[in-house]
Amino acid sequence: MTQSFPGQHAGQVLHPDTWDLPTSTRLAPYLNWGRVLADLATEHPEIVVLTADLKQANRLTDFAQVHPDRFFDLGIAEKNMVSAAAGMAAAGLLPYAATYASFIGLLCAEQIRTDVCYPRLPVRILAHHAGIAMGFYGSSHHATEDLAILRSFAEMTVFGTVDPYLTEAALRASVHYPGPIYFRLGRGREKPVYDHPPADFAFGRAITMREGHDAAILATGLPLQAALEAAETLTAEDGLSVRVIDLHTVKPLDVEAVLAAASTGVVLTVEEHNILGGLGSAVAEVLAEAGARCRFRRHGIRDEYALIGPPLALYAHYGLDGPGIARALRDLL
Partner 1 sequence: MQDRQALLATLQNKASFCRRETIRLIAIAKSGHYGSVFSAAELFALLYYHVLRYDPTRPDWPDRDRFILSKGHAAVGLYPLLADVGFFDPALLDTYTRLGSPFGDHPDMRLIPGIDFSSGSLGHGLSVGVGMALAARVTGRSYRVYVLMGDGELDEGQVWEAAMSAAHYRLGNLVAIVDRNQVCVDGLTADVMDPEPVADKWAAFGWRVQEVDGHDLDTLLDRFAALPDPASAQPTVLIAHTVAGKPVSFMEHRFEWHLGYLAPEDQARALAELDEQVGGEP
CA distance 256 to 332: 22
Site for partner 1 (CB under 8 A): how many residues? 29
CB of 73 to partner 1, least distance (A): 9
Q: Does residue 328 interact with partner 1 by CB under 8 A?
A: no
Nearer to partner 1 by Cβ, of 93 and 332: the residue is 93
Region 58-77 residues binding partner 1, contact defined as CB under 8 A: 69-70, 72, 74-75, 77
- The answer to whether 293 touches 107, Cβ cutoff 8 Å, is no
CB of 59 to partner 1, least distance (A): 22
Q: Does residue 333 interact with partner 1 by CB under 8 A?
A: no
Nearer to partner 1 by Cβ, of 22 and 178: the residue is 178
CB of 171 to partner 1, least distance (A): 20
What residues contact 47, with CB distance under 8 A and at least 6 apart? 37, 40, 41, 67, 70, 93, 94, 95, 96, 175
With b for 16 or more beta-carbon neighbours within 10 A and e for fewer, the 292-317 pattern comes to: bebebbbbbbeeeebeebebeebbbe
Of the residues 84, 158, 228, 287, which one makes contact with partner 1 according to CB under 8 A: 84
**How far from 290 is each of 13, 109, 145, 281, CA to CA, in Å?**
49, 31, 26, 14
CB of 248 to partner 1, least distance (A): 28
The helix-helix angle for 223-238 and 322-332 (nearest 10°) equals 60
Q: Does residue 178 interact with partner 1 by CB under 8 A?
A: no
Nearer to partner 1 by Cβ, of 181 and 247: the residue is 181
Nearer to partner 1 by Cβ, of 48 and 227: the residue is 48
Q: Does residue 323 interact with partner 1 by CB under 8 A?
A: no
Q: Does residue 219 interact with partner 1 by CB under 8 A?
A: no
- The answer to whether 295 touches 320, Cβ cutoff 8 Å, is no
Task: Answer left, alpha or beta for residue 284, where phi above 0 means left and psi between -120 and 50 means alpha.
Answer: alpha
- The answer to whether 133 touches 223, Cβ cutoff 8 Å, is no
Q: Does residue 103 interact with partner 1 by CB under 8 A?
A: no
Q: Does residue 200 interact with partner 1 by CB under 8 A?
A: no
CB of 123 to partner 1, least distance (A): 10
Question: How far separated are the first and last CA of the chain, in Å rounded?
Answer: 28
Site stretch for partner 1 (CB under 8 A), options 22-30, 85-93, 213-221, 303-311: 85-93
Of the residues 6, 22, 92, 291, which one makes contact with partner 1 according to CB under 8 A: 92
Region 108-167 residues binding partner 1, contact defined as CB under 8 A: 110-111, 114-115, 118-120
H or E stretch covering 210: strand 207-210
H or E stretch covering 47: strand 47-51
Q: Does residue 93 interact with partner 1 by CB under 8 A?
A: yes
CB of 179 to partner 1, least distance (A): 12
- The answer to whether 312 touches 320, Cβ cutoff 8 Å, is no
Of the residues 91, 154, 199, 236, which one makes contact with partner 1 according to CB under 8 A: 91
Q: Select from 73, 75, 81 the least CA-distant residue to 116.
A: 81
CA distance 231 to 237: 10
Binding footprint of partner 1 on the chain (CB under 8 A): 48, 69-70, 72, 74-75, 77, 79-80, 82-93, 95, 110-111, 114-115, 118-120
